A and B are shown apart, each in its own frame.
Chain A
Amino acid sequence: MIKAFKLEWLKLRHYKVFWIILSLYLLTLLVISSAGPFLLQWLKSQGADIEGLDPTLLPIYDFPDIWQNITWLAGVSKVLLSFVVVISVSNDISYNTLRQNIIDGISKKEYIMSKMMLILFLSILSTAFLFAAGVINGLIYSNVYGVSYILSELEFLAAYAYEIIIFCTMTFLLSLLIKKAGFVIVILFLYSLVFEPIITMNFLYNPYLKDTMAVYAPFLPVNAINSMIPVPFPKYILREIEDNVPLSAVLISTVWMGIYTFLISFILNKRDLK
């Protein structure tokens, strides 16, 4: 495991693009997790009110609700983090270093392991970063204090870590299939932020489709991992609280994870590296 991680580390530690993308993502996490008060101010200045309530009074940074709120927001921007995986894999393909690595003496399994260690590293790093950002913002803005509140509902952070792992594994598979980094990035953007959300909406709400297709919506790959952290904001309007990580979404996502890893190893073992 350490050997696999070190291989990836040697490849990336002097690579500027890697550090730039990683810093941009962490910066994005910081902005997203601390922009709440400004956003609510802006809503207020636009004259918005929530059932007669001043939006700035919404307790979005209260422990433990903060965890669901910021992990959901951070999940939206995960596609940016996955670019690290895209460049790492497509570099190995375009520079032909994947082949050279194998020739030099690693197995394809060890190669996959090195990329999975990178993904695990990205997931742990961004989860830790998000946790720190959450604690700091919460200590500033939360109306509720106490270690027991801070440390409850941390399952959303675990769900976020898992979401990153699965999404990046999907990215790994796409990079192997498509090979060109630019293409993969465009497709990731379009599919995860445009196509699949539209397909999901159609399955759920299109009057001609919803009767037959709505049951399939939870099985769509990106929708499944997104659903591990339910959209938190309705609770402020409907007061109907969905503040658990839904087990069904975790199970469906795990099945997708299995499919991705199977396909990755199938493709690498089958493909001639030329």
Chain B
Amino acid sequence: MTDILRIDNLNKHFGRIKAVQSLNLEVKAGQVYGLLGPNGSGKTTTLGMILDVVAPSSGTFEWFGGKANVDSRKQIGAILETPCFYPYLNAIQNLKIIAHIKECSNHRIEEVLLQVGLLERKTDQFKAYSLGMKQRLSIAAALLSNPPVLILDEPTNGLDPQGIAEVRVLIQDIADQGKTIILASHLLDEVQKVCTHFCVLRKGEKLHEGPVSDILGETNAVELVSDNQNQLEGVLKDFKGAVDIHPEKDQLVLELADGISAADVNQYCFEKQIVLKKLVTRKNSLEEEFLKILKEHDQSI
């Protein structure tokens, strides 16, 4: 796979604050790369540096295997934080400026406005838009030149639940076309749903990096509910495959030994004449993993 973006030992200091520290990253063609981190972890600063609006204190980066930065940026559709447009111009006039800068034709303007659901408001001034509509317009602007690479910084900020769902579908569609997406977010759920790879930043340091699929998957924990929880707990104490058992709210959580599955638990309970109302194998979520990564690093400090 070809390199889209390569970051080598990038640093940014604002006075004494180290916003980004010795960051190395590689994004390959076709990846949906999630940049995760709490607020103020250096996500936007990193994106600002690779888009040439923030000067790195040291280090280098390279787009498309060494293409000139200005030409590279024409191949990238990017939004950073808040939508930035001329408030006195309407959607079409604003997008014409972007088409002019990106040296692409105006014929896709209506198409992208339709894609983000703004076609009916195309002749309204930007200042009359709601926050959600502004956000949609910036997504339309990023899509305008049909770029092979998209950089989206908190793309669902300010959107209502329906808008969030639509943007997710949109991102998924774009990813399915084989485009490369770099997505910065603090919404872990969002990253889990759309990203193939992710890294975790905190205080400008990269703590973890890898494919999303590596950490999602089933755990050894099973959640159980029956009509009589006390009886269930008593019975399960004798179950050979259990490592640990503890009540959690109105359910029991059973840690299984390796090689024991939920089916074995069900079979065992059935034999003991207990009917289970709920039997769920817990899955890893990015959120748990994220918090675990942060915690591990807290301890190691």
Contacts from A to B (Cβ < 8 Å): 3, 6-7, 10-11, 14-16, 91, 95-97, 99-107, 110, 269-270, 272-274
Contact = CB atoms under 8 A, between A and B. Distances in A.
**9 tightest Cβ-Cβ pairs between the two chains A and B:** A105-B74, A96-B84, A100-B84, A105-B73, A273-B53, A104-B101, A272-B54, A107-B70, A103-B51
Contacts of A272: 48, 53-55
Nearest to A107: B70
Interface in B46-80: 48, 51-55, 70-71, 73-74, 76, 78, 80
B196 to A, nearest CB: 24
A14 B101 CA distance: 18
A179 to B, nearest CB: 15
Nearest to B98: A104
Contacts of B172: none
Nearest to A100: B84
Contacts, number: 78
Interface residues of B, number: 29
A104 B102 contact: yes
Given A10-B93, A100-B85, 10 more contacts: A3-B100, A10-B97, A102-B52, A102-B53, A102-B73, A103-B53, A105-B102, A107-B70, A272-B53, A274-B54
Contacts of A102: 51-53, 73
B270 interface: no
B86 A97 contact: yes
Nearest to B93: A14
A99 B102 contact: no
B9 interface: no
Given A16-B88, A99-B53, A106-B70, A10 B96 contact: yes
12 contacts: A10-B96, A95-B85, A96-B82, A99-B53, A99-B80, A99-B84, A103-B78, A104-B102, A105-B71, A105-B73, A107-B70, A274-B54
Contacts of A14: 88-89, 93
Nearest to A18: B88
Q: Count chain A CB atoms within 10 A of each CB in B82, B96, B97, B98 and give the residue with the most.
A: B97
B86 A270 contact: no
A91 B86 contact: yes
A273 B45 CA distance: 10
